[in-house]
Amino acid sequence: MGVQKTTKKRTVFVLAFWLVCIAGLVGRLVQLQAIAPAREKQSNALDERDILPRRGAILSRAGVPLALTIDRFDVTANPPAVPNRAQAAVQLAALLGLPKDEILKKLSKTQRWNPRTRAWEKNHYVMLKEAVPEAVAANIRGLLTPKDRKTLPPLYGIELRERHLRYYPLRQFAAQLLGYLNDAGAGVAGLESGYDEELGGVAGKEIAKRDAKKRAIPGEWHEVIPPVDGHDIVLTIDDGIQLIAERAVEVAQRKYRPNWMCALVMRPRTGEVLAMTTKPDFDPNRVTVQDVSAGRTINYATRFAYEPGSTFKLITAAAAVERVPTWDVARYNCEGVRQVGKHSIRCWIYWLKRRGHGIGGLSDAIKDSCNLVICRFAQEMGGDSFLDYIRNFGFGKPTGVFGERKDGRGRCREARGIVPARIERKDPAHLANISFGQAVMVTPMQLLTAVCAIANEGVLMKPYLVREIRTSEGDVILRHRPQVVRRVIARSTARAVTSFMVRCVKEGTGKPGAVPGYEVAGKTGTAQKVTKGAKTYSGSAYVSSFVGFLPARRPELAILVVADEPKGSYYGSQVCAPVFREIAEKSMIRLKMIADH
């Protein structure tokens, strides 16, 4: 019995031993045949990474860079890998211009808390300084190179990560026109947004087999598809005239403290925009939340629709010359105040002197900026005919100054303005109000484009800002040419209205806009704003403006200046006409200098 029992135990032990061995062999086979290949496949899988393209530049017509991409380097560290942190902190402090203790504190962060695993783990990444220039990066590279194979480099564990940084070298210069980028590198506003696809380029790809630590495996599949860099955009903006406009508007902005003030300069014969500025502005290199909330990033020249006031009398006068047969001999009386339907229409002079302008014709209505005389001409021609002229001048729809996409949509947002669908026949005051720039809303860009049609002998040109689009190699792929939209008034009509404007500057409200040595055609504007939350006009809030062109007989430049709710004075002749004169005088000197060269 004892022998049998011992033999039985030995047999069970041997069987158990072989079962364990067989189980181990099966487990190893499963690992070799299934698990290991899966891990190898996972760790050695093809890894695809984007290679960011270089964003194209935005240039002035003379090639001055207004927005460009520069190479910068982020200096980072792998703290556990740094052998001598104290020494590295001393060297980096001198190179980066940072306190030694601040760098040492970052290099000492060798551990980090992982909230997902709820455990401490090695910290392989800290940012030491962002966007250092190439000169600093070159000095750091020198300390990343070992002196020999046996010693580590002085800054072992420090890394340089290259990145492209958008840079606006002239800072606030044409800021609202250019726009800016968000943190992801996409255009947010202005031309940066409207031409984001052309400027941004096409990302490349790096495809490679990588190990578990994401390192490319030598000798394995490795393919690089290079990125296509973005196109450069050349604007019609003259950097010299833009600077003149910026400085003139900035001085007036400080003096009269309007909510905002803008200036536009165009070539009437071509539609080229030579300057577009709005104040207050912002630095697109450092856009703050306050900049956005305060509206400093808004391009009011194209985004703001307002009731233009007396500058709109030029459109009324142009229509009257063609639709009122007796315009050249007709005379009407300005009593200062007149009852039209249920409303009292007042002329600006009534508020000052409690009287009217007296008897006057169409030319006098422009010279004196008379509401009552101009509205009589509007009544003579009729509302339907007048509205046709307003629309033909381009009001009520975007100008397309930024260019158009393939689907016909504008590149950048523009306000359409408001043109009534019809004249309210039950309210005679409706037509009267439109005749002197109320009950209709326009953008500064629309108004200047319309006045350019008068300067261009009645031919409306499409305004444009983009002159060329070039590849990164300099090949021109798109060139914009002056584009005629249509003839809106006869040549004789344009010359008649020009003569009215010349008289306004020589004898009337536009005298402060006169430029020595030139015959200037101009018109003032002082428009009451509608009180917020009410249907009445404010007695204290105005939009002031002055528009004109010179030389009057063969214009080179057309200029519009607009100020929203200036303080101290609100008349266009006092607030905006001097700014017009400053821009016009200095810009003509610049054009002459360019022509002489």
- Output the six-digit token pair for 299: 């391009």
Residues 354 and 358: their CA atoms lie apart, in Å, by 12
Half-sphere exposure of 327 (CA within 13 A, CB side): 24
Which DSSP symbol is given to 57? P
Cβ–Cβ < 8 Å for 254, 493: no
Contact 469, 198 (CB under 8 A): yes
The per-residue pLDDT for 453 is: 98
Looking at the DSSP bridge assignments, the partners of residue 67 are 58
What is residue 170's predicted lDDT score, i.e. its pLDDT?
A: 95
For residue 537, give the amino acid letter.
Y
State CA 503 to chain mean position distance: 37
pLDDT of residue 39: 45
For residue 104, the tally of other CB atoms under 10 A from its CB is 16
Q: What is the DSSP letter of 346?
A: E
Residues of the chain with confidence (pLDDT) below 70: 1-21, 23-45, 148-149, 210-221, 533-534, 595-597
The residue type at 588: M
Interacting residues of 238 by C-beta distance below 8 A, sequence separation 6+: 60, 61, 62, 265, 274, 275, 590
* Cα distance between residue 256 and residue 250, in whole Å: 10
Q: Tell me the pLDDT tens digit for each residue of 7-46.
A: 666 665 656 666 666 766 666 665 555 544 544 444 456 7
Q: Which of 482, 483, 467, 480 is nearest to 232 (CA)?
A: 467
Hey, is 201 helix, strand or coil? coil
Nearest in space to 170 (alpha carbons), one of 299, 274, 67, 59: 67
- The residues pairing with 103 across neighbouring beta strands, listed in sequence order, are none
Closest CA to 437 of 419, 461, 412: 419
Q: Count of residues for the chain?
A: 597
Q: Which residues pair with 76 in a beta bridge?
A: 127, 159
Task: Give the N- to C-terminal CA distance of the chain in Å, as an integer.
Answer: 126
- Is 433 in contact with 527 (CB distance < 8 Å)? no
For all residues of the chain together, what is the average pLDDT? Answer: 88
- pLDDT at position 41 is 47
**DSSP-based three-state secondary structure for 133:** coil
The Cα 577–Cα 558 span in angstroms is 13
Nearest alpha-carbon partner for 206 in 227, 225, 229, 228: 225
pLDDT attached to residue 208? 77
The three-state DSSP-derived secondary structure of 56-115 is CCEECCCCCEEEEEEEEEEEEECHHHCCCHHHHHHHHHHHHCCCHHHHHHHHCCCEEEEC
pLDDT at 38: 47
Query: pTM for this one?
Result: 0.83
The angle, 0 to 180 degrees and rounded to 10, between the axes of the packed helices 85-96 and 134-142 is: 150
284 Cβ contact list (under 8 Å, min separation 6): 67, 168, 171, 175, 178, 179, 180
Task: State the Cα–Cα distance between residues 310 and 120, nearest whole angstrom.
Answer: 72
Cα distances from 432 to residues 340, 350, 370, 383, 387, in angstroms, run: 8, 17, 12, 9, 12
- Pairing between strand 58-59 and 232-235? parallel
